[in-house]
Structure 1
């Protein structure tokens, strides 16, 4: 009832506002403009591979994985069961199950009794966006954008699919001006008053701040986080996250000091990056772990501040910025489960102790074996051995009371300890939390426009270098330890872009090539120290740095009715993200976009892009503009 009343209050407020505008407009003669679009988006899977981060995509579903509790190979008990069956005698489980429950299986196995439905669609959404502007006088204006999306929910997982509700607010919204339910959300990404007086421009209200121009990469684009609920990062790369930035309430002001130099500053309420929910097509956190968002009541009343200086010296452009912020992507670590449930049928009364550890007994959908544990640790670039040690050491004395111990660097001891607890419990769910550390980011960019011979490739060729420096940046540690991982990070992007006419019969094509470097994290902000693990093998030893290159662009047709696009990202450790596309715009009302997203490569846990190799798809967008 609370959500319904919230929605009704929003509708009533909008109705009252519309009535008020109707009364005020004739009196003040405000010049109103209104435009917008309605759009349908469909993404069809290109493979039968399901998202492994969801229950239905777990590769261990339906498998009897042998366990070795305390490092003991008890597989011979299977032969005893076979013998008893051949003699028409009851199996060993007929004795152990009444005593210990079905979780403590004989012989020990980690069986995931979870269905694996298949899906044909990743995305099936309808979107309405209305942009309203009001010119009050020569100095004052207002801007309002209303966005409403509805997900038709053709995706199947073993749990209810909740596309949009978040943990951040009581109404489920991701920002203060958003209302969200499982299948739809409505928000106002822009709701601001603008003041202009000569060289001064001030914007007050809900808004996004877009800095930097790199495709795929975010080197200077640091004021806002990203909303990844709708289509992850799979929209056309040339749109540069234009629909992804999370808006925030704030004040942004710029002043044109001279015709060539501008100063800008902002103060904005901190809003975190919004990850896709479990059981949704693009979920990126394995669903055997419960994520607790430490935002509400903790980081929901903090503010970011920053500024930049931009100038032009002939063909040379300069830009310098500094931002003091809470990292919107956050950092993740183990946290207490708070769930009072006995860790095992063999340990009655252990629930209160287990609640003080990061683990909860979950026989239905928890991790079932050390094989599954190490597989997922490698997938998400964590260290399965040190993650176990952190879960033990950071939650003493509770973990010690359950006889858990630090295994040092030994994977075999870790496997034995894990299998012991997975056998005793029948499956464990891990609990993790995301917090938003404070940091300072400093950076600059330099761009130069070449004056080449008319018609030559150098004519109006633009080169640009963007770089940023974050001292003491806080990363999720590959061990998920409470202390996190702290490193200085450098990020840089070298960009070359050009409008080039290949033929007199075609308009100029837009071409852009880029190189990215990061010293401590990958393109998704994960610590490089967790890279390199192999499935079933030892944890990875990490990478020294991250390198990637990209090439993107588009070629319009002679009539401009068609536009052929491409974007390719190559992780130099072996991963590809290829995104070809075509756009058809027959008139000023209709537009159809068709593009594919394909991930490929080798050395999976050495490159960053293999994280998304489940997301191969073809995406269609049909838009009607008004």
Structure 2
């Protein structure tokens, strides 16, 4: 009887559980089906390609740096610390057993040539999913997947591994320096991805520009997740648009300009709340995880940092910046034809400050530097070790056991593909708004390891040239630089006003012109110093922007055209955030000229688009003019043949000296870029 009852109970339990599971499966299946019904999917596959029409290569990459194909004479001198007077006074004599104290060097004899016929070739997929769980709660996810087929493989460090012992690693993750070109990875010096929502390799990248849980109720709107916070609308300009940094790996800012940084803003994990405070006033606030700008890697098509330097060691994790928060609030109001806005943001400047860094690479001058290298190594070993408070600045003593160890505590590393001559040093520095003389003296002053190996400050460019060439010869060719990036908190304040102009004649061109004026003020902003000093430059900055825009119909035949004109004045930095004191130096195959700086930067923009009557074609244009004489022009024609297909054909033209001194213009650093581009997209 007990067995019978027991079996019945077991059977009853099994039947109950089976029914429960079935019911739950039905409910789960119904829930999934319900969610699918409430979800929309969008997808696009796209080809982005651009072809170089200028005949010039990127001057920051290995094959086209200043003096690449020019023979430059070099002479080694006895250092002042060894009784040589001032730098350049006493050459090391070319005795029969010392044959390499004077030579000529041509960089292209040692570095293989790589040409980028295609400046861009990217296959990409853009996807978006929207799920509406309830009337108030929704989820928005955007995914971006890119693949670079490596039409131009670019420079490979392994091609020079037998020269000067190759490009050495050490002192941090050197993922972008010791192999082939790394197009997409962005890592801190500890090897961790800077963007936590990203998976990237040398030739591919997958990330989520948007991953937001959105809750709306009444006058409140809350968004939590990975997101872009766009407070600005200007083309090229970012006056109040300070919440997000920029990701410049794909095409700098040379994509379709009208998109207003849509593909360039670096998303951040943030909580954002918007409230309709009154019928006229909206309050918008955020708090988010700090995410820095992402710069192109060495030798990639749009690299903007000289590849003679290692990729800057990013202290995002080692400096604990990954745990820092940005936060800000904005009020925006509209009263009929008038409007105003005000904002305050506390953030870490996303560009950061670049400064000299210890290389951490223990690599000496021998056997690469021939006799001169051996002389330096011997003289260093002959110095007694410093003791107590002694230092190599004031005493004839050494801190370390070898020249290699001393250099590991300096910003310089022996290796190929670095800087080969004084002329290359000065021109390369000026190309990125640095001053070659200041940068050299700063490195000597801030790093005891350099003074330890007989480097001493140079009073002028002639002395600096003697010092540099002595070390280049002693290294057996070139020396590579090491830089790091740190970030500084700043308080950004902004005010803006708007006005919609109305005329009695509704057909007047001036009717419905919208005028916006925005002012940004940032006290004690920290910039990269032209000498790469560890403390940078600190100064107050104000930025003024005026924007006029309107929709205008030229005739009944054509739809309305969108027109926008802009003006920006910046008191301390250029459009990319580099301090103006670094402007003015000579670049290219020219002699050294000190970077004496400029007072203020001014830019004009005229952009817009005009659809064709059938809307199958759209003509677009965007012109950025640096008032000192540089221009960026982007004409574009868009074709929409239907069936989800779209084609954009555009041209990017940059010129730094249409008038005035090209050394004083923003576009001087980019006027090698002249490209015809195409974007072919298909909506899935």
Equivalent residue number for residue 323 of structure 2? 301
Q: Distance in 2 between matches of 1:263 and 1:115?
A: 57
Pick from 153, 158, 165: which aligns with 2:155? 158
State TM-score, norm by structure 1.
0.90
Pick from 291, 315, 337: which aligns with 2:359? 337
Q: Distance in 1 between matches of 2:203 and 2:501?
A: 50
Equivalent residue number for residue 422 of structure 1? 472
Equivalent residues in 2 for 1:402-413, closer than 5 Å? 402-408=453-459, 410-413=460-463
Give, in angstroms, the shift of residue 231 of structure 1: 1.1
Q: Distance in 2 between matches of 1:256 and 1:624?
A: 38
Rg bigger for which structure?
2
CA distance 1:287–1:94, change in 2 (3 Å):
farther
Alignment deviations for residues 430-475 of structure 1 (CA, whole Å, 9 cap, x no partner): 1000111111111021110011121001211111111111110000
Equivalent residues in 2 for 1:96-107, closer than 5 Å? 96=98, 104=100, 106-107=102-103
Pick from 313, 322, 325: which aligns with 1:292? 313
What SS does structure 2 have at the residue aligned with 1:365? strand
The answer to whether the Cα contact below 8 Å between 2:652 and 2:676 also exists between their aligned partners in 1 is: yes
Alignment deviations for residues 178-200 of structure 1 (CA, whole Å, 9 cap, x no partner): 10011111111111111000100
Q: Distance in 2 between matches of 1:238 and 1:21?
A: 45
Alignment deviations for residues 65-87 of structure 1 (CA, whole Å, 9 cap, x no partner): 1013336599999xxxxxxxxxx
Give, in angstroms, the shift of residue 599 of structure 1: 0.5
Is 1:40 the equivalent of 2:47? yes
What SS does structure 2 have at the residue aligned with 1:585? strand
CA distance 1:75–1:297, change in 2 (3 Å):
closer
Give, in angstroms, the shift of residue 95 of structure 1: 5.0
Pick from 129, 132, 137: which aligns with 2:129? 132
Is 1:144 the equivalent of 2:141? yes
The farther-off stretch of 424-433 and 162-171 is 162-171
The farther-off stretch of 411-420 and 120-129 is 411-420
What SS does structure 2 have at the residue aligned with 1:597? strand
CA distance 1:310–1:173, change in 2 (3 Å):
same
Is 1:206 the equivalent of 2:226? yes
Q: Distance in 1 between matches of 2:318 and 2:595?
A: 37
The answer to whether the Cα contact below 8 Å between 1:370 and 1:415 also exists between their aligned partners in 2 is: yes
Equivalent residues in 2 for 1:261-300, closer than 5 Å? 261-290=281-310, 291-298=312-319, 299-300=321-322
What SS does structure 2 have at the residue aligned with 1:319? strand
* Matched residues, number: 584
Is 1:394 the equivalent of 2:464? no
The farther-off stretch of 108-117 and 238-247 is 108-117
Is 1:168 the equivalent of 2:200? no
The farther-off stretch of 586-595 and 564-573 is 586-595
Equivalent residue number for residue 493 of structure 2? 442
Pick from 405, 410, 420: which aligns with 1:357? 410
Q: Distance in 2 between matches of 1:527 and 1:186?
A: 33
What SS does structure 2 have at the residue aligned with 1:366? strand
The answer to whether the Cα contact below 8 Å between 1:146 and 1:188 also exists between their aligned partners in 2 is: yes
Give, in angstroms, the shift of residue 201 of structure 1: 0.2
Equivalent residue number for residue 541 of structure 2? 489
State TM-score, norm by structure 2.
0.82
CA distance 1:21–1:545, change in 2 (3 Å):
farther
Equivalent residues in 2 for 1:250-269, closer than 5 Å? 250-269=270-289
Q: List alignment gaps of at least 5 residues for structure 2.
A: 1-26, 78-86, 157-179, 378-401
The farther-off stretch of 466-475 and 168-177 is 168-177
Give, in angstroms, the shift of residue 414 of structure 1: 1.5
CA distance 1:75–1:314, change in 2 (3 Å):
same
Equivalent residues in 2 for 1:465-614, closer than 5 Å? 465-534=517-586, 535-587=590-642, 589-602=644-657, 603-614=661-672
Is 1:57 the equivalent of 2:64? yes
Equivalent residue number for residue 15 of structure 2? none
Give, in angstroms, the shift of residue 108 of structure 1: 5.5
Give, in angstroms, the shift of residue 556 of structure 1: 0.9
Give, in angstroms, the shift of residue 604 of structure 1: 2.4
Equivalent residue number for residue 451 of structure 1? 502
Equivalent residue number for residue 118 of structure 1? 115
CA distance 1:118–1:21, change in 2 (3 Å):
farther
Q: Distance in 1 between matches of 2:148 and 2:571?
A: 38
What SS does structure 1 have at the residue aligned with 2:482? strand
CA distance 1:598–1:73, change in 2 (3 Å):
farther
Equivalent residue number for residue 68 of structure 1? 75
CA distance 1:170–1:140, change in 2 (3 Å):
farther
Give, in angstroms, the shift of residue 376 of structure 1: 0.7
Q: CA RMSD in A?
A: 2.2
Give, in angstroms, the shift of residue 130 of structure 1: 1.1
Equivalent residue number for residue 513 of structure 2? 461
Equivalent residue number for residue 26 of structure 1? 33
Q: List alignment gaps of at least 5 residues for structure 1.
A: 1-19, 78-91, 98-103
Equivalent residue number for residue 11 of structure 1? none
Equivalent residue number for residue 24 of structure 2? none
CA distance 1:27–1:43, change in 2 (3 Å):
closer
The farther-off stretch of 216-225 and 159-168 is 159-168
Give, in angstroms, the shift of residue 145 of structure 1: 1.1
